[in-house]
């Protein structure tokens, strides 16, 4: 079993600090984008769930902010004001199904999978700070995937199949966007002791599982 990292290792501390700030910023942006979307969600079940999620994300941001202070690293935002605004503008521009895909499959499920990969090599304080947030994410992903399935089930089969193909394109696009922001995610992961190639493989495997699950009812 891998040794937990010692926080006195300064490269580790700087890189983990940046990842924590980035993760907290993403939670904060998810909170805002989901809150904005409640008003136009298509049904009460979605509205009720999303209101709960907004509360969850707010709690995650608090937990993480407190831990970042205690951890004692640079608190400068990873995403600047313009990038944060672009995130919100992107989600505002989407129809319901695309919103579900980008928010819950791309950000929550695949982003969360990447975060999970760093937990085993994190120091005990960081691990503890991620516990509640990662538990709640399971619920958020279940909601999002369930809603994507439901929306697809209402479409004619050929339209559902062609939408599934566009999901792959949407995921590639978002992935390219992150790289285009000039944030060196591979270097951050490597500095905290993760094998970046393995992280990518695990995320791609999760992505394939999700695609298979969504395709299953359409094959019947």
- In the complex, which residues of this chain contact Fe ion (CB under 5 A)? 27, 57, 60, 133, 137, 140
Considering beta carbons, is residue 45 or 201 the nearer one to Fe ion? 45
Name the minimum Å distance from CB 21 to Fe ion.
14
Considering beta carbons, is residue 13 or 60 the nearer one to Fe ion? 60
32 φ/ψ angles, rounded to the nearest 5 degrees: -70, -40
Name the minimum Å distance from CB 60 to Fe ion.
4
Name the minimum Å distance from CB 34 to Fe ion.
8
Name the minimum Å distance from CB 57 to Fe ion.
5
3-state per-residue secondary structure call for 45-102: HHHHHHHHHHHHHHHHHHHHHHHHHHHCCCCCCCCCHHHHHHHHHHHHCCCHHHHHHH
Name the minimum Å distance from CB 54 to Fe ion.
10
Considering beta carbons, is residue 108 or 160 the nearer one to Fe ion? 108
Considering beta carbons, is residue 123 or 137 the nearer one to Fe ion? 137
**What is the spatial distance between Cα 157 and Cα 169, in angstroms, rounded to a whole number?**
19
Considering beta carbons, is residue 133 or 193 the nearer one to Fe ion? 133
Name the minimum Å distance from CB 82 to Fe ion.
23
Considering beta carbons, is residue 29 or 199 the nearer one to Fe ion? 29
């Amino acid at each position: 079993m891998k040794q937990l990292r010692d926080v006195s290792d300064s490269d580790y501390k700087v890189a983990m600090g940046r990842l924590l700030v980035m993760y907290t910023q993403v939670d904060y942006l998810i909170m805002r984008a989901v809150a904005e979307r409640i008003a136009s969600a298509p049904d009460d079940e979605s509205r009720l769930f999303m209101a709960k999620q907004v509360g969850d994300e707010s709690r995650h941001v608090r937990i993480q902010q407190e831990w970042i202070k205690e951890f004692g690293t640079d608190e400068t935002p990873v995403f600047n004001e313009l990038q944060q605004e672009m995130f919100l503008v992107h989600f505002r521009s989407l129809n319901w199904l695309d919103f579900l895909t980008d928010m819950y499959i791309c950000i929550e499920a695949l982003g969360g999978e990447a975060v999970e990969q760093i937990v085993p090599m994190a120091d005990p304080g960081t691990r503890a700070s991620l516990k509640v947030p990662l538990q709640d994410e399971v619920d958020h992903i279940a909601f999002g995937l369930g809603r994507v399935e439901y929306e697809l089930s209402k479409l004619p089969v050929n339209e559902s199949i062609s939408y599934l193909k566009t999901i792959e394109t949407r995921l590639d696009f978002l992935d390219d966007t992150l790289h285009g922001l000039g944030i060196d995610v591979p270097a951050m992961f490597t500095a905290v002791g993760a094998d970046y190639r393995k992280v990518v493989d695990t995320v791609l495997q999760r992505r394939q599982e999700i695609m298979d699950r969504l395709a299953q009812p359409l094959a019947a």
